[in-house]
Amino acid sequence: MKARVSWNRPRRSRRRRYLLGIEYFFLLLGLIALDCYIWVNTSSTLYQAYQDWAFDQTLRGLTPSIGGFVEEEFSWFKSRPITSQPAAEPNQASAPLREEKEPRHSMVLGRLEIPRLRVKAMVREGADESTLQRAVGHIPGTALPGNIGNVALAGHRDTFFRGLRNIQKNDAIDLKTEDGTYRYVVQSTKIVGPRDVGVLAASTGETLTLVTCYPFYYIGSAPKRFIVRATQVAANPLPQPQRGS
């Protein structure tokens, strides 16, 4: 009887060490996943904060810089006011009209706001993964804000477009650019398949289409797309430079 007990003890000890090793392994994986999640969300938040500040600086005719952003964010440590250097006056001969602009990939186009849902995110040109990790993306080939056609924007359902799950008809959507502010009102929402590109088709009016994955709480790659369709109801364009003036 004693021999049987002594024989089982090493086996139980090995099993305990094996289970403990598995436990530590999954704990390590969990910590790595948590670190990645924190890094992605922190970098996105910092990027959005800087781009939001820089966009406002540009609209006021000031020159944004990372140093100025850091100084202003921590200005409560100091008693002196923060000042920014005004940007140089643009050369009218080299300033293109809004219709002639062709945005570069990853270029900041403006800021999207849905006041009721408290959604606010910068908009960049492009719909690739690197762009959508940091901002809402303008889908290439669709209209630009302020032009006739369908302005299509894409965003991740678990970051910048998380609030779309609560969007309703008649909600206001503001798209603020360096050329002016454009207000849209939601007309409808629908769910489509990932290959239904008809939602991106050009229109004869001034419309806005928001695209994100669906279902919102789906784990993994979501199989469908959630579409928000809105029409422009107001525009406040800034004066454009005139040729030959």
- The number of beta carbons lying within 10 Å of the beta carbon of residue 82 is 11
Beta bridge partner(s), residue 26: none
Question: Which tokens go with 2?
Answer: 């004693």
Phi-psi sector, 56: left (phi>0), alpha (psi -120 to 50), beta: alpha
Catalytic residue, candidates 36, 105, 138, 156: 156
Annotation marks residue 213 as catalytic: yes
Contact 58, 64 (CB under 8 A): yes
Query: From CA 150, how far away is CA 198, in angstroms rounded?
Result: 11
Distances (CA, A) of 201 to 167, 182, 208: 22, 20, 11
> Cis peptide before 215, with omega less than 30 degrees from 0?
yes
Contact 119, 112 (CB under 8 A): yes
Contact 232, 206 (CB under 8 A): yes
Annotation marks residue 36 as catalytic: no
Active site residues: 156, 213
